[in-house]
Amino acid sequence: MKKSKVFWGYAVLALVIYAVVQVLISTGAIDIYYKNMLITMCINIMLAVSLHIVIGVTGQFSIGHAGFLAVGAYISAIITTKLMLPFPLAILLGALAAAGAGLIVGIPTLRLKGDYLAIATLGFAEIIRIIFLNTDYVGGAAGMQVKYLSNWTYAFVGVVLTILVISNFTNSRHGRACISIREDEIAADAMGINTTYYKVVAFVIGSFFAGLAGAIFAHNFYIIQPTTFGFLKSFDILIYVVLGGLGSLSGSVIAAIFLTVVSTYLANFPETRMIIYSLVLIIVMLYRPTGLMGTKEITDLFKFGKKGGTK
Amino acid sequence: MTGNLLIKVENMGIQFGGLKAVQAVNMYLNQGELVGLIGPNGAGKTTSFNMLTGVYTPTEGTITFDGLKLNGLAPYQVTQKGISRTFQNIRLFKELSVLDNVKVANHSLAKHSMWSSIFRLPAHFKGEAEMEHQSIEFLKIFGLDVYKDELAKNLPYGMQRRLEIARALAANPKLLLLDEPAAGMNPQETHDLMELIAFIRKEFGLTILLIEHDMSLVMGICERIYVLDHGQLIADGTPEEIRNNPKVIEAYLGEEVIG
């Protein structure tokens, strides 16, 4: 079948990217600086795609995503450094803990709409951060020592898993139910869609993968501190999704890659870094107000040549 | 084909703060009937629809549908029990394709689980293929299958109205509520719509409750008519009886002459 051919095409592409980078890392062609950039890029892609399912697909404007990142980071760090359990288990449990936090936060807040939801999620993320800040077991404000365990393989597998699960979810009756909530909640309800259920489901899936990203993030540096997970981090993630185009998975991936590269290079110019970064954002939003990809996916663009497009 | 009692509304009313928007409404629909609900602007027709579909919970009275009490159910539960509706101001999923609009309504009829979709198990492909097939069948009935990949927002107005009805039907209702389906249509389109309504009623064995301002449509196809004014039922009966009812003429007169 044609569809499975496309799938295997992507699978091969992913494998090639993985293998090439892995070989370059082992031969030393990619030094530690670029290796770190690539892992950060993977983490940012995971975060962007996990927020995409909440904002882009379901249309729920959540700006507290860093809270779930923090849960994943701290829980996984506790498991590896305090309980001395293996890293893969820590990733899984970190992600599950974040999903649990998503469920607890999601059930009360997803009754709210628009601005109110945004403020409520922001508040919850701050609560999560303050809890870690005041827990001496995880080091409080000084932060927590974490083993360096992340590598390119974990990061890349994480990205592939995130994209695969979220795109599979989106392209099914369940994902369509979420999109219908984004388009018109009252009509979705009238068509027999349990809107509360699907909003919570999308939120929990998003939190799960934010937690996954958090686990890899925590073990990519030697220390994690509560300040890292402040609301500025939430806005960073939000920017990936908006810049990529609300509703476009590939858009949020591209935006995450693009902005990671930009901010990595700008690290060399600390005085002007934020000015240039902000200018880049303003210019992109001026010339592409619907984001880099709009609501289109990169796969749609390839089809254009044959059918001339439907829009 | 008129048969058993399908829905019974007893003493239904709703109060918003101090305002009694609708009060003491008694209605019933038998299986297979086509009934009209008319009344001047602000009479409470759409509010009544919203109570029947669970958008509002009535503050008094009961709604019994197919032996089940509907009071307090959420809209999606009401739809799953077998009442589906269209909206006065079109509420399509604008950024979705025509086909996907219908598929969304088809959602509750499909059984494949979220896990089967995430892991792309055989149940997912089977379920999705079935949904696709059924949705296209609905689009064919409405002559919309040629537009299936078009975004809903790009359809002409009349087609959007038809798509809304197609979407409501895809939810597999026993009772279909149409809120001003002919609003903004020209006489030719209204005529086509009348034929379409009569056709789907026969084809699917539906019971239909219709809000409409276009009197030629209401008088032309409805078997019975309820008239609301100021939140209260002022008359019910056959189109002939309604036409000659002095209360109805009084309620309508001012508006009809000026309008």
pLDDT tens-digit series, residues A49-89: 999 999 999 999 999 999 999 999 999 999 999 999 999 99
CA distance B131 to B125: 10
- Whether chain A has a CB inside 8 Å of the CB on B91: the answer is yes
In contact, A98 and A207? CB cutoff 8 Å = yes
Top-confidence residue, A99 or B72 = A99
Q: What is the pLDDT of residue A311?
A: 32
A-interface mutation test, from B52, B88, B91, most A Cβ less than 10 A away: B91
A178: closest CA of chain B, how far (Å): 10
Contact A97, A56 (CB under 8 A): no
Region of A248 on the Ramachandran plot (φ > 0 left; ψ -120 to 50 alpha; else beta): beta
The dihedral over CA atoms of A277, A281, A282, A284, expressed in degrees to the nearest 10, equals 130
Q: What are the tokens at B12? A: 């239904």
**CA distance, residue A167 to nearest chain B CA (Å):** 8
Torsion angles phi and psi, residue B16, rounded to 5 = -105, 105
pTM: 0.90
CA nearest to A174 within chain B: B114
Judged against a pLDDT cut of 50, whether residue A309 lies above it is answered with no
CB atoms within 10 A of CB A268: 7
pLDDT tens digits along A175-230: 999 999 999 999 999 999 999 999 999 999 999 999 999 999 999 988 999 999 99
CA–CA distance, A141 with A240 (Å, rounded to integer) = 28
- Model pLDDT for residues B12-60, shown as the tens digit of each residue: 999 998 888 999 999 999 999 999 999 888 889 999 999 999 999 999 9
- Going from N- to C-terminal start, the domains of chain A cover 37-228
User: Tokens at residue A237, please?
Assistant: 């993630």
Burial B153-163 (b: 16+ CB within 10 A, else e): eebeebbbbbb
- Best A8, A179, A191 member to test B by mutation, with max B CBs in 10 Å, is A191
Q: Do B128 and A165 touch (CB under 8 A)?
A: no
> Could you tell me if A41 and A260 are in contact, meaning their C-beta atoms sit under 8 angstroms apart?
yes
- Chain A's closest residue to B114, CA to CA, is A174
Q: Which of A169, A186, A191 sits opposite B104 (nearest CB)?
A: A191
Q: Answer whether residue A283 shows pLDDT above 70.
A: yes
Q: What ranges in chain B are assigned the alpha helix state H?
A: 45-52, 75-81, 98-106, 114-118, 122-141, 157-170, 187-204, 215-221, 239-243, 246-258
Which pLDDT score, from 0 to 100, does residue A1 have? 47
Domain boundaries, chain B: 1-82+173-259, 93-172
Contact B93 A188 (CB under 8 A): yes
Taking the CB of residue A135, how many other CB atoms lie within 10 A of it?
A: 13
> Could you give the CA distance from residue B187 to residue B105 in angstroms, rounded to a whole number?
29
d(CA A220, CA A129): 19
- Beta bridge partners, B245, equal none
CATH code for the part of the protein at B1-82+173-259: 3.40.50.300
Question: Quick one: pLDDT at residue B125?
Answer: 93
Q: What angle do the packed helices A273-287 and A231-244 form, to 10 degrees?
A: 30
> Are A311 and B100 inside 8 Å of each other by CB?
no
Q: Where are the beta strands (DSSP E) in A113-165?
A: 144-145
> Which residue do the tokens 């379920």 mark?
B127
Chain B: residue whose CA lies nearest to A177: B104
